[in-house]
Amino acid sequence: MNPKVEQSLNSVLDAFKTGDIVDAVTYAMNPVYDLPMNKWSFRNTIIALLHGTSDARGFRQWKAVNRSVKKGAKAFYILAPYIKTEKETDENGEEKETSEMLGYFPVPVFRFEDTEGEELYPELKQIALPRLSEVADRFGVSIEYLPRNGVWAGFYSPGDKNIGLCTPEENVFFHELAHAAHDRVIRQEGKYLTNEKHWRKETVAELAACVISRTFGRRLDGNAYQYIEQYTYETKGKNVHKMCMSVLSDVRAVLNEIFQHVDDSELENAA
């Protein structure tokens, strides 16, 4: 099997292990926008969603809507059928076409998040920037609202220094801002966020986001606990309490990094 085809198939199989497949299937059945991707096969739609996007297109398709693929962006691959068509003449002398599918071949596509250019979703520009957006600006991190994709609510990209949000919910932004602050803190130690253990950086970000939310008077529900709990399988026996206790020094450093860039007047007005 072509290695790129195998990679795409494996991404779907891996999703069954993590549970991501459930959200991806839900969105694939109920797409939000009328996009080229919505005409793909169900399998290819799932592959795109598992790559964290609800809008993927080929290089020329992006050019057609006046967007360009960012330098250094990497394609992922969907699967197109390889169909062999032959013409045959029957016993009556009539020419007929016969088709046979011989397999699949990989087609490179790029995520909307890895392109730049003309705005495709003008209504998203109407969403007000979240509280503490000025901190992201001081970090040199951009904020962009993106279409809901049913797989994740937000992300922080260390390479692009960009926060993408699929919801105006403040706590989601606080979580991604905490990732950006964590990235800054560990870079001072010569480390990189991308090399941190997944459970660790997600626990740091979620716990820090909870503290920020409480600072501004927001009540907490059980979602944060459940979010951290889903990573316990990576920790060789740690429960949520132990996970949180083990990252307290990192959380403190992240909060210091954020709040030293917050205006005193905003803290004074915090509920």
> How many other C-beta atoms lie within 10 A of the C-beta of residue 14?
12
* Rounded mean pLDDT, 152-165: 84
Question: What is the domain extent for residue 232?
Answer: 121-268
Same domain, 214 and 130: yes
Q: Express each pLDDT in 59-69 by its tens digit.
A: 999 999 999 99
Given a cut of 50, whether residue 28 has pLDDT beyond it is no
Whether residue 97 lies inside any domain: the answer is no
User: Is residue 153 a contact partner of residue 165, using CB atoms and an 8 Å limit?
Assistant: yes
Whether residue 85 lies inside any domain: the answer is no
Tokens of 230: 């889903």
Domain total for the chain? 2
Cα dihedral 199, 205, 211, 216 sign: negative
Whether residue 153 lies inside any domain: the answer is yes
Q: Express each pLDDT in 78-99 by its tens digit.
A: 988 887 787 777 777 777 777 7
Name the pTM for this structure: 0.66
Taking CA atoms, 244 is separated from 56, 151, 251, in Å, by 36, 25, 9
User: Is residue 136 a contact partner of residue 157, using CB atoms and an 8 Å limit?
Assistant: no
Same domain, 73 and 148: no
User: Is residue 79 a contact partner of residue 8, using CB atoms and an 8 Å limit?
Assistant: yes
Whether residue 100 lies inside any domain: the answer is no
Neighbouring residues of 154: CB distance < 8 A, sequence distance ≥ 6: 163, 164, 165, 166, 167, 172, 173, 175, 176
Domain termination site, one of 66, 89, 113: 113
Domain termination site, one of 113, 133, 166: 113
Whether residue 18 lies inside any domain: the answer is yes
Separation of alpha carbons 39 and 111, rounded Å: 16
Same domain, 135 and 264: yes
Q: 162-165 and 115-117: which strand pairing? A: unpaired
Same domain, 209 and 140: yes
| 130-134, 179-183, 216-220: the lowest-pLDDT one | 216-220
User: Is residue 178 a contact partner of residue 139, using CB atoms and an 8 Å limit?
Assistant: no
